[in-house]
Structure formats: structure tokens, C-alpha cells
Structure 1
Amino acid sequence: MTLKIRIDDSAAPYEQVRAQISELARGGTLPVGYKLPTVRGLAEELGLAANTVAKAYRALEADGVIETRGRNGTFVAAARDAASREAAVAAQVYAERVHRLGLSQEAALEAARDAVRAAYS
């Protein structure tokens, strides 16, 4: 499978790389575990600076779309696992914050339920 990314003048090149890889991964075109090209390899293929591709890869990793496994390379991550991890981190931050504010567990849970309900309506 070849990674098909097109760069044009519509946006910053790193953002185009980030958005296209994200779309391919989340849409299933790039399966979980797919090994991405090296930063230098993709940069050469696209005619971009290595720092541009590295910036896109860092953003994708921060979003949980890809994961770097040291010298083994960079791979498409399991999106559900990444989403679950991010949700757990957000929940932990929320729990610590409402505890510092002195809210009861019931009040904190009700506030969270209201926020989720509002987000999904």
C-alpha cells in the first residue's frame, strides 16, 4: 500500500500532511498497525522539509492517530484506544478540578452529565 498524499497551496504543508493521514487512518484506508514512512522518506517523497513532516507526525501522535515505537518506526494507532485514553485523561483532570472546588461527587457527576448531554444534542 502506498501512502497517497497531495500537497497544494490550500493550507500549510504540515497541516495537509496531518489532515490527510488522519483522514486515511480514521476512515480505515490506513489500517491499525500500518507502518508509515520515515519522516525523511515521506519528506523526500512529497518534496517537503523533514521538519515539516516531523511537525505533522508530532501533531498526529498528540491526537492519538499514530504512535512511534522507537527505532521500529511509526504506526497507525488503534483510534478507539487513543480516544479512550484521551477521555480518561480528561476525566481525571475534571475530577481533580471539581475536588479542588469542593463539589460533592453527586454534583460533579451531574455537571458532567449535563455537559455530555449538551454536547450530544
Structure 2
Amino acid sequence: MALQISVDPDAPEPPYEQIRAGIAERARSGALPVGYKLPTVRGFAEELGLAANTVAKAYRALEADGVIETRGRNGTFVAAPGDTAAREAAAAARAFAERARRLGLDRDTALGAVQDALRAVYGD
């Protein structure tokens, strides 16, 4: 199975974001199964005709999102869904709640801010 990602140089999204989104969507849909070994940064960059730093930036974002995991010299693989993403979401939510409380916001105001942010990102 080859990783089929295309980058449109005329798209409004930068190339690294197109790569990140393409891999994330394929991983979440199951088109890239858990444990699938991704190409090396250099190899994938060469295949796409991009700088290695562009692919590396996409891989770093995917790893931060828990979509992929790097296993040292063994390579980079599609991670099992949920665990990392759920932990990071819970940590972000707690950090927000603590910050809102330090700012003196009451619970309803903080919750309203979260709901507004979710609507802005996910839509209605």
C-alpha cells in the first residue's frame, strides 16, 4: 500500500497542512491502518517534490495530535486512535478551566467561551 497524498501548490493551505490533513483523514477513516509505516521524511519529501522540512513539519503536527508515532530508528507509524488525542484534549480542557478560573470567570461564562470556540471550529 502506497501513501497517496498530493499537494496543490495553488491551494490556500500551505503544503505541510495539506500533507497533515491528508494523512490524518486517511488514518481516521482506516484507509491507513494502525501500524502502517509512513515513508521517511526525506523519501516522502523527494516523492512530493518538497523540502524535507515541509514534510517534517507535517509529521511533527501529526505526532502532536496523536495520529502518528515515531519509534526511533524503526520509523514512523500510524498510531492507535483515541488514547493520545483523548489525553491531550483532557489536558487542554483542564488548562483552559484553570486559566478561566484565574481570570475570575464564573463557570457559565467559561462554558460559554468553550461553546463559542467549538461552534467556530466545528460549525453548528
When normalised by structure 2's length, the TM-score is 0.74
- Matched residue, 1:72: 74
Runs of 4+ in 1 over 4 A off after TM superposition: 111-116, 118-121
Q: How many residues align?
A: 118
5+ residue gaps, structure 1, are: none
User: What is the CA–CA distance in structure 2 between the aligned matches of 1:95 and 1:5, rounded to whole Å?
Assistant: 38
User: What is the CA–CA distance in structure 1 between the aligned matches of 2:16 and 2:85, rounded to whole Å?
Assistant: 23
Q: What are the within-5 Å matches in structure 2 for residues 18-33 of structure 1?
A: 18-33=20-35
User: Which has the greater radius of gyration?
Assistant: 1
RMSD over equivalenced CA pairs, Å? 2.7
Residue 77 of structure 2 aligns to a residue in which SS? strand
- Matched residue, 1:86: 88
- Matched residue, 2:10: 10
Q: Amino acid of the residue matched to residue 74 of structure 1? A: T
Q: Per-residue deviation at 1:6?
A: 1.3
When residues 75 and 53 of structure 1 are mapped into structure 2, their CA distance, relative to the original with a 3 A threshold, is same
5+ residue gaps, structure 2, are: none
When normalised by structure 1's length, the TM-score is 0.76
Q: Per-residue deviation at 1:67?
A: 1.4
Kindly, what percent of the aligned residue pairs are identical?
Answer: 70
